[in-house]
Amino acid sequence: MKLPSTLRAVLIGFVALLGLSSIARADDGTISLTIYKAGWFIGGSGGGGALNFRGRTYPLSVGGIDAGLVFGGSKTILRGRVSHISRPSDVAGVYGAAGAGLALGGGARAIVLSNEKGAVLELSGRQIGLMANVDLSGMAITLK
């Protein structure tokens, strides 16, 4: 009698693992973004980039609004990794951050962001320009 209940438990566990593995098929990719930012108390940003995912390249658009103390203009080039995505459209969404920064001529940037779909961006790069900010920032990424 023990063998059928043990066999049943093993089969239930196997089925559960199959179900979890289909959910956990999230993958990683690489992303590059170029963002232009300007503002005087209220700022805006825009730009573009590319997602490399499963051997294909997908063009991206980036836009956003900054509210707080924002002054100046800058160009930021970011590269990094995107994780927890199952398809390219998972990168699309709204990413938010609060922070402070100062760029005089050039400076390094590093940031980790996530969107409502669970995509996680780990980005680093260089900011060029004159930009001072203490703000709440929002960035929206869309697939072109």
How far apart CA 24 and CA 14 sit, in angstroms, is 15
**How far is C-alpha 57 from the geometric centre of its chain's CA atoms?**
16
Q: Look at residues 64, 63, 79 and name the one whose alpha carbon lies nearest to residue 31.
A: 79
Residue 104's pLDDT is what? 55
The domain ranges of the chain are: 26-143
Count, residues in the chain: 144
Residue 20's pLDDT is what? 44
At 41, the amino acid letter reads F
Q: Check: CB of residue 137 under 8 Å from CB of residue 66.
A: yes
Can you tell me whether residue 125 is helix, strand or coil? strand
pTM comes to: 0.72
Average pLDDT across each block of 10 residues of the chain; the chain has 144 residues. List them in order.
Answer: 52 49 69 90 88 96 79 88 95 75 62 89 85 66 92
Q: How many CA atoms lie within 13 A of 56 on its CB side?
A: 7
| Ramachandran angles phi, psi of 32, nearest 5° | -135, 135
Residue 48's pLDDT is what? 96
The CATH architecture to which 26-143 belongs is Beta Barrel (2.40)
Structure tokens given for 87: 């398809």
Place of tokens 């924002």: 70
Residue 103's pLDDT is what? 55
Q: Look at residues 98, 103, 99 and name the one whose alpha carbon lies nearest to residue 132.
A: 103
